[in-house]
A and B are shown apart, each in its own frame.
Chain A
Amino acid sequence: MTLEMLREVVRNVLPQVDVVIGYRQGFDPLHATPCFITKPEQVDELIWNPLCVQNLCSYLPFLNKKVGVIVKGCDSRTIVQYMQEKLIRRENVKVIGIPCRGVISVNKVIRAVNHQVVEEVKFEGEKLVVRTSEGEKALPLSDVSPGKCQTCQLPTPLQADHLVGEPIQSDKPREKVFEDIREFEKKSLEERRKYWEKEFDRCIRCYACRNACPLCVCQDRCIAESRDPHWVSQRANLTEKFMFHMIHGLHLAGRCIGCGECERVCPMEIPVARIKKKIGMELKELFDYIPGINPDDTPPMYTFKVEEAKIKEHEL
């Protein structure tokens, strides 16, 4: 796929919609930023490369317009989930899908260059070449990609009105998807408690994780800020922080499509996606269900069966 192919598709889609959401270069060479294209002359601002990390679908439920949106494979599960939960009118969305070979984790790149200021970024095959005042450094994309890319099962979008480029098959083994969680669970309960206390202690409750989450649809009505009911107080202590993250995780049970936005946006670098992934793993084992795959599915927490294959309620 070339950038020109993408721009051509966007030029064709633009007259059919009010806005097309894509990516443009951000404030420095390492950051892309969402751009909202309403005029043909803006199309040339579009970029497509492994910097294009944001899940642009997150804007859809809040835009009462006809929208074109650029989606990667992982992002496309958001569209499916929105369809299941009737959060978008599918006919109002033109999905411009791009088969994706993986994005970067900005934090991993910054660490790889030891926090030196990045002056230039180039993409050469499977490598990211980063220039700092200390010279150029070639980083294999697989070393600096987020966890979700390292076990990606869906490089090609499930939903696409226009697919830009040839579909890609995943070359990542399916059984490795939850490997990190299984590994983590080998720690003792006490070790895990200590780990999470240390991590959540940094939380500043800026709610970036919540607001960036495409499935956190309560947004302005979030129970974390509600005074009545008053489940979480304004105290800046570990208990309240912990409580908020548990709420976030549980409200996404069977709905989290694993885009990892919550973790990517955290200014305190707390691995909050791990909570959701753990719940996702439990849901997979309990209900044999993966969210955001089939628009006709009902999320397991949205329904009820008298007999569940793996819940031995009646034997109690």
Chain B
Amino acid sequence: MAETGFVAKEKINILLEALSKKFHVYVPTLEEEVVLFKIFDPEKTLCLTRPANLAPKAVIFPQGDALFTFDFHKDTEDPKKVSVELKENLEFAPTIIFGCRPCDAQGFRIYDRVYVEIDTPDPYYKGRRAKTTVMTLVCNAPFPGCFCTSVGRGPADKDGSDLIMTELEKGYFFEPITEKGKEILKESGFEDGSPYREEAKKAQEKVSSAVRKPFASVDGLPEKILSLFDNDQFWEREAAKCISCGACTYLCPTCYCFNITDEQVSRRGERIRSWDACMFFHFTLEASSHNPRPFKHQRLKNRVGHKFSYYPSKYAGTIACCGCGRCIRYCPVSVDISEIVAHAQGVQG
């Protein structure tokens, strides 16, 4: 077996059709004007020319995941006795995420530390993650808002990917990173990639310097952000224009907070784990009606703080932002998290 693979551009659909026989293959698909990760459908348009609007996180971390169903049964002999029947499904299909970007793949590494690499792993996330192969497309140009190099990452980073693919003049060069990636290369549809290795290397190196650098480094950043915790004036200024919606968090490849609700009709229902967003008032609303973060500047502080201070303090300095720029690009009022970080770095003292 060849160590690397190559697929001509015109044969990508043939490859995806072949992979679809064994896997659920999610590809960036053009839906009207928006690019979303959808199950591969040869009738639809595959879009590899720009990052998807929505990170592929929903493939492994669905927006509304039914953890289990419940069904209450009354004892016909003694109606006071009620039993509950629970059913969960932890069988997950082999899945491929094809054509996500390095930032998207790195998002899963941010989740892994929280959901897998702990004493009590999350069975739903862990199950799907184990069954999913991430085939990442190296970026060939930065996109508006991108700043991956500022957070110590890059447009050809391998972290979180099982296999990376690089667009060349005539096709895509595939390079396995993990065992799962090597397995994929055994599937039909790949030519030997070794003649293209040099061309791919050059293409990968080219982009990095073109990415904008809103701040020079993340050295000392977790401490700096934490030192501003009580500086309400700073956060009020940065959050003044924020409208406190959830677009930034829902589009983000690293936001993983969730809500749990029981959605019941009559005696049956489901326990749903759904995406939550720290920008919402309800995020920290307590049953007592007290809310420790009633103001939007406190919530924006949490979003920035979590990514650039609390998470790295807990996980060996890893910044929980991959610089994909989606929160900047699609923010209704162009709140720019990279600018907030730069401003924080500029605060004296």
Give chain B interface residues in 284-334, CB to chain A under 8 Å.
Answer: 328, 330, 332-334
Contact B336 A27 (CB under 8 A): yes
Q: A305 contacts the other chain (Cβ, under 8 Å)?
A: no
> In the complex the two chains form, what is the Cα distance from A210 to B247 in whole Å?
11
Listed stretches B47-55, B115-123, B164-172; interface member: B47-55
CB neighbours (8 Å) of A219 from chain B are: 244, 281
Distance in Å: Cβ of A143 to nearest Cβ of chain B: 16
Interface range, A side:
35 or more
> In the complex the two chains form, what is the Cα distance from A33 to B247 in whole Å?
16
Q: Mark B331-347, 1 if CB is under 8 A from A, else 0.
A: 01111101100000000
Q: A117 contacts the other chain (Cβ, under 8 Å)?
A: yes
Contact of A267 (CB < 8 Å), options: B64, B237, B274, B330: B330
CB neighbours (8 Å) of B237 from chain A are: 36
CB neighbours (8 Å) of B63 from chain A are: 204, 236
CB neighbours (8 Å) of A269 from chain B are: 32-34
> In the complex the two chains form, what is the Cα distance from A54 to B33 in whole Å?
21
Q: Mark B49-72, 1 if CB is under 8 A from A, else 0.
A: 110011000000011100000000
Contact A36 B263 (CB under 8 A): no
Contact B261 A233 (CB under 8 A): yes
Distance in Å: Cβ of B222 to nearest Cβ of chain A: 24
CB neighbours (8 Å) of A117 from chain B are: 141-144
Contact A208 B32 (CB under 8 A): no
Contact of A207 (CB < 8 Å), options: B62, B241, B246: B246
Q: B203 contacts the other chain (Cβ, under 8 Å)?
A: no
Contact A111 B33 (CB under 8 A): yes
Q: A310 contacts the other chain (Cβ, under 8 Å)?
A: no
Q: B1 contacts the other chain (Cβ, under 8 Å)?
A: no
Q: B243 contacts the other chain (Cβ, under 8 Å)?
A: yes
Given contacts A225-B280, A236-B64, contact A54 B261 (CB under 8 A): no
CB neighbours (8 Å) of B281 from chain A are: 219-220
Give chain A interface residues in 190-216, CB to chain B under 8 Å.
Answer: 198-199, 202, 204-208, 210-212
Given contacts A27-B334, A117-B141, contact A233 B272 (CB under 8 A): yes
> In the complex the two chains form, what is the Cα distance from A265 to B63 in whole Å?
20
CB neighbours (8 Å) of B62 from chain A are: 236
Distance in Å: Cβ of A159 to nearest Cβ of chain B: 22
> In the complex the two chains form, what is the Cα distance from A107 to B53 in whole Å?
13
Contact B246 A206 (CB under 8 A): yes
Give chain A interface residues in 43-63, CB to chain B under 8 Å.
Answer: 54, 58-59
> In the complex the two chains form, what is the Cα distance from A236 to B223 in whole Å?
38
Q: A164 contacts the other chain (Cβ, under 8 Å)?
A: no
Give chain A interface residues in 170-203, CB to chain B under 8 Å.
Answer: 198-199, 202
Contact B53 A268 (CB under 8 A): yes
CB neighbours (8 Å) of B334 from chain A are: 26-27, 31-33
> In the complex the two chains form, what is the Cα distance from A59 to B338 in whole Å?
23
Contact A234 B245 (CB under 8 A): no
> In the complex the two chains form, what is the Cα distance from A118 to B251 in whole Å?
22
Q: B105 contacts the other chain (Cβ, under 8 Å)?
A: no
Distance in Å: Cβ of A244 to nearest Cβ of chain B: 13
Q: Which residue of B lies closest to A262 (CB)?
A: B332
> In the complex the two chains form, what is the Cα distance from A211 to B279 in whole Å?
11
Distance in Å: Cβ of A242 to nearest Cβ of chain B: 15
Distance in Å: Cβ of B207 to nearest Cβ of chain A: 12
Give chain A interface residues in 13-35, CB to chain B under 8 Å.
Answer: 26-28, 30-35
Contact A206 B277 (CB under 8 A): yes
CB neighbours (8 Å) of B142 from chain A are: 117
> In the complex the two chains form, what is the Cα distance from A28 to B280 in whole Å?
27
Q: Which residue of A lies closest to B325 (CB)?
A: A27
CB neighbours (8 Å) of A261 from chain B are: 332
Contact A27 B263 (CB under 8 A): no
Contact of B243 (CB < 8 Å), options: A30, A31, A58, A236: A58
Contact of A36 (CB < 8 Å), options: B33, B240, B328: B240
CB neighbours (8 Å) of A211 from chain B are: 243-245, 332
Contact B34 A212 (CB under 8 A): no
Contact B33 A204 (CB under 8 A): no
Q: Which residue of B lies closest to A33 (CB)?
A: B334
> In the complex the two chains form, what is the Cα distance from A109 to B241 in whole Å?
24
Given contacts A27-B339, A58-B243, contact A33 B32 (CB under 8 A): no
Contact of B272 (CB < 8 Å), options: A31, A234, A265, A268: A234
Q: B190 contacts the other chain (Cβ, under 8 Å)?
A: no
> In the complex the two chains form, what is the Cα distance from A95 to B34 in whole Å?
37
Contact A206 B250 (CB under 8 A): yes
Q: A12 contacts the other chain (Cβ, under 8 Å)?
A: no
> In the complex the two chains form, what is the Cα distance from A66 to B336 in whole Å?
26
Q: A264 contacts the other chain (Cβ, under 8 Å)?
A: yes
Contact B245 A202 (CB under 8 A): no
Q: A115 contacts the other chain (Cβ, under 8 Å)?
A: yes
> In the complex the two chains form, what is the Cα distance from A268 to B35 in whole Å?
9
CB neighbours (8 Å) of A212 from chain B are: 243, 245, 332-333
Q: B155 contacts the other chain (Cβ, under 8 Å)?
A: no
Distance in Å: Cβ of A89 to nearest Cβ of chain B: 20
CB neighbours (8 Å) of B240 from chain A are: 34, 36
Give chain B interface residues in 23-45, CB to chain A under 8 Å.
Answer: 31-34, 36
Q: Mark A69-111, 1 if CB is under 8 A from B, else 0.
A: 0000000000000000000000000000000000000010001
> In the complex the two chains form, what is the Cα distance from A198 to B30 in whole Å?
13
Distance in Å: Cβ of B332 to nearest Cβ of chain A: 3
A-B contacts, 5 of them at CB < 8 A, read: A202-B32, A204-B63, A206-B250, A212-B333, A219-B281
Contacts A206-B251, A268-B54 known; 15 new A-B pairs at CB < 8 A: A27-B145, A27-B334, A27-B339, A34-B240, A36-B240, A118-B144, A202-B31, A233-B272, A235-B64, A235-B274, A236-B63, A265-B245, A267-B247, A267-B251, A268-B53
Instruction: Tell me the A residues contacting B by CB distance below 8 Å.
Output: 26-28, 30-36, 54, 58-59, 107, 111, 115, 117-118, 198-199, 202, 204-208, 210-212, 219-220, 225, 227, 233-237, 261, 264-265, 267-269
Closest 6 CB pairs of A and B: A236-B64, A265-B332, A220-B281, A33-B334, A211-B245, A26-B334
